[in-house]
Amino acid sequence: MNIIKSPEEMQCEALELKRAGKSIGFVPTMGFLHEGHLSLMRLARERCDVLVVSIFVNPTQFGPNEDLDAYPRDFERDEALCAEVGVDLVFYPKPEDMYAADASVWIDEESLSGVLCGESRPRHFRGVCTVVAKLFNLVLPDLAVFGEKDAQQLRIIERMVRDLNFPVKIVRGPIVREEDGLAMSSRNKYLTEEQRKNALGLKKSLVQVCELVGQGERNVSNLRSAMTQLIDDIPEAVIDYIEFVDDQSLHPVDSIEFRTLVALAVKVGSTRLIDNIVVSV
């Protein structure tokens, strides 16, 4: 397994692989890897000749009061996990090598990014789209795997690839959960033992929605109220949002008629967690 730190070297290596007729699979990460990341790598591994994983904590997708400096990092552990999964190349750049000091070009998505996480993190998806576009230009992947846990991000990247004609196939990776149902996240490390137990309420609220829809409830106001009541009873839990949106357009819906993405973001203590499920009738 090779480790490349220079963007120029990464692009040169990718061009050589292309000339040799090799297909490139890509999984972008911010490191501190867990089984969720590894499941994405395995999906890519099955579909390509050369598997590239990037490890880059992207500063442009963090707001001024978010956890950029505290975001967990452990490159040696990440490197070992990548090797176990069969990664061929790890791209591990520095922020100053990815962004010029006077960088002034950004990618803004204007339809899907203003709701859900984008409402409380207004510049977040500008940073996500820009760094993913840069990574695509450096790695030159034939396919890239993104997880369903970041449902809004996934749909925005799919839209960016479509609208900007990136020659990249986006593969969706299912949410991976701990045995108790908590969605795997690098930020779970921040939770105390008690907070981690409390965080299970996110999944319980989604299960509750599925049960209510299965019993015939279609009214989103009633469904949101049930979720809100459950989460409000959780110690240290503060709701950022609970939203019911069309699975593709992300437009809010009032009733469950078609495929609906149920997404929520909740702070448990100081840790912001997200989860989602798709329901249909």
Chain segment 22-54, per-residue pLDDT in tens = 999 999 999 999 999 999 999 999 999 999 999
Region 228-244: what's the mean pLDDT?
97
- CATH number of the domain located at residue range(s) 2-173 in this protein: 3.40.50.620
56: closest CA among 126, 122, 125, 5? Answer: 5
- Give the span between the Cα atoms of 29 and 222, in whole angstroms: 37
Question: First CA to last CA across the chain, in angstroms?
Answer: 46
Catalytic residue set: 37
β pairing state of 2-4 and 237-246:
unpaired
**pLDDT of 66 above 90:** no
CA–CA separation, 226 and 137 (whole Å): 45
Residue type, 276: N
Q: Is 165 left (phi over 0), alpha (psi -120 to 50) or beta?
A: left
Output the pLDDT for position 65. Answer: 82
Residue ranges per structural domain of the chain: 2-173, 186-279
Model confidence at 67: pLDDT above 90: no
- Phi/psi for 4 (5° steps) reads -120, 130
Predicted local distance difference test score (pLDDT) of residue 281: 86
Of 48, 264, 11, the C-alpha closest to 171 is 48
CA distance linking residue 11 with residue 262, whole number of Å: 38
Q: Do residues 210 and 227 lie in contact, with contact meaning Cβ atoms separated by under 8 Å?
A: no
Report whether pLDDT(275) > 90: yes
Q: What pLDDT does 139 receive?
A: 98
Fold: same for 2-173 and 186-279: no
Asked if 39 and 146 count as a contact pair (C-beta separation under 8 A), the reply is no
User: How does pLDDT run across 184-209, given as a tens digit for each residue?
Assistant: 999 999 999 999 999 999 999 999 99
Q: What's the CATH number for 186-279?
A: 3.30.1300.10
Closest CA to 246 of 108, 110, 109, 112: 112
Rounded Cα gap, residues 252 and 244, in angstroms: 6
- With a CB cutoff of 8 Å and minimum separation 6, the contacts of 46 are none
